[in-house]
Amino acid sequence: MRYTTFPSTGWQVPVIGMGCWGLGGQWGQTDVAVAVATLEHALAAGITLFDTADAYGTELGTSESLLGRTLLGRRHQVLIATKAGAWGVRQGARVAITHPCHVALCCDASLHRLRTDYIDLYQCHLGDCGEPELWLEAFARLQRQGKIRAFGISTDRLDVAQAFHRQGGCAAVQLDCSLVNRGASSGLLPWCAAQHIATLIRGPLAQGLLTGKFTPASTFTDQVRQGWNSGASRAAFLERLALVERLRAIAAGRPLTAFALRALLADPAVTTLIPGARSPAQLDDQLAALDLPWSAADDQALAALAGGG
């Protein structure tokens, strides 16, 4: 594993962390034993940053609970990032956050599920949180109480991140970025770098597209991607799938998963990637990016593709 410094906090974090959304059941049925084995494999590989959220789960369990149980006795060895604000979204019943005390209640619930008395990075899970004062007041209180160490926001909008940081305390922005979605590269990512704000890259494999395992005949039954089966979302899926094939040609025989992650690690504005893994084998495919050969020619080929070449 390679590590880098988390700006503003000084934490040493792995350049590839672990996103835990896939362990909550929303991406398909979760085998608890395999999920625990995946977390154990991550720890053995030197992954010390785990990102989750209170909304990651089903009635059968949550990724926070699974993570908390697995980390018992080892909590001090890792950094935990979790989020609040989207509880119940997948069930069509999001719990509204209208007062700082609601954020505090969400925090206490996450602390309980995680079996810990502090959260390293607590994030607003609303990509457009409106006026951020409510969240900033809540986070300040939680920091004074020692329940959180740092705070941030998960958003893909530069204006939202700027508003969230206007008092100067935002430690991290979690954003969607991949080789089939490079919009953040020209705005949000360089702004975060200029402000010394850490970036956690979610979706670096484009919800599985950049593993190269899908075809035009693929269909989806999980909660997250089932919309890809029809209409405009299906058309977008097929368009991105064609782009994946062009990327496969640039990879020139190198594993596509590792190639997609290695490309993002070449951006100095990227602090850490948080792909999701649902098995030890998937995690190994991702960690292969750390040793993947890379050259200026790769950067040039990707730049030409992004520019329409």
How far apart CA 66 and CA 32 sit, in angstroms, is 8
Look at residues 40, 41, 66, 43 and name the one whose alpha carbon lies nearest to residue 53. Answer: 66
Dist. CA 287–CA 15, nearest whole Å: 10
Close Cβ partners of 149 (under 8 Å, ≥ 6 residues apart): 9, 118, 119, 120, 121, 143
Length of the chain counted residue by residue = 309
Hey, which residues does 150 pair with through a beta bridge? 121
> Locate tokens 């993002």: which residue?
264
* Phi, psi values for residue 254, rounded to 5°: -75, 145
* Residue 80 to residues 27, 54, 148, 151, Cα–Cα distance (Å): 21, 12, 10, 12
- C-alpha–C-alpha distance, residues 226 and 228, integer Å: 5
CA 271 to chain centre: 12
Phi, psi torsion values for 141, nearest 5 degrees: -65, -45
Residues recognised as catalytic: 56
Q: How far apart are CA 256 and CA 250, in angstroms?
A: 10
Residue 162: closest CA among 139, 138, 140, 194: 194
The answer to whether 40 touches 70, Cβ cutoff 8 Å, is: yes
